[in-house]
Amino acid sequence: PTDIRGGIILGLLVFFVNWEKAEGFESYYMSTTYLSLKLFCSGTIILLLNPQPRPVTPTFTQNALLWGLIWGCVQGSRWFNDLGSFSATVSTNNAGVVFASDRGDTILNSYVLVCIHNFFHSLVTNLPFVAAFVRLILGFVVVLLFRLVVKSGTIMLLSKMFNINVKPKLLAEDYVAMKKKNDDLKEKAKRKGRVLRKHVVRLFTRDIDIVGNAIVKVATYTITAMGIAFIVPVVLEIAGLGQH
């Protein structure tokens, strides 16, 4: 099958390119300026060049999802690297938690946070295996909450402010008319002895829902990946579950 052959070729290509260029790419995005802008522009160009066959296939939305993951991982890794070494300790007067990093100290004044930090810190010290399990579960919860909030917020924002319906409902009469049009095109092509090829369109056409789907996918999985690469380690450290 074509998918298997194409997957093997692409997989080998990515493997060898990564083998040769991974260190150079990492050093570039760890030091370059305006990283967010560069990621946004490159991702937009890639998605604009992605064709949209008819009938619609999941290829485009999957590419938007993958680009969101790449963007989030790269940006999150850069923020994590810029943060440097960090640790969280309870302040001397037990009024809050002090988060110290190479970029400075931040005091989070909350007695509840102090209690949480002390509890989980003692858990890490006395029951490390239990602490590892709690760390895993808490990390999953934070990431899933990010995904839920960002996806719901993005869909609502597009719907309310820009009137973009990400998941439009197809009425019965619209479906009948679309099916009849497709059947007529097939019959016309058959009479002329030609093979009917799927019409290909691109973004910013009448299918504005395609743009909406791309925005939702990219935003959701960018924030999710940022959470995994940057936000979750910081949250776990402040909660007393860090590995520093």
pLDDT in single tens digits along all 244 residues of the chain: 677 888 899 899 989 998 888 889 889 999 999 999 999 999 989 888 887 666 667 788 888 999 999 999 999 999 999 888 888 888 877 788 888 888 888 888 888 888 988 898 888 888 888 888 988 898 888 888 888 888 888 888 887 777 776 665 544 445 556 566 666 656 665 655 554 444 444 444 444 567 788 888 899 999 999 988 998 888 888 888 876 5
pLDDT of residue 202: 41
pLDDT of residue 143: 85
Closest CA to 199 of 20, 92, 50, 52: 52
User: How many other β-carbons are positioned within 10 Å of the β-carbon of residue 106?
Assistant: 14
Residue with tokens 């998605």: 47
CA distances from 63 to 96, 108, 173, 225, 235 (A): 43, 39, 31, 15, 30
Q: How far, in Å, CA of 91 to CA of 93, rounded?
A: 6
Per-residue DSSP letter, 86? E
pLDDT of residue 199: 44
pLDDT of residue 55: 63
Output Rg (C-alpha) for the chain, integer angstroms: 24
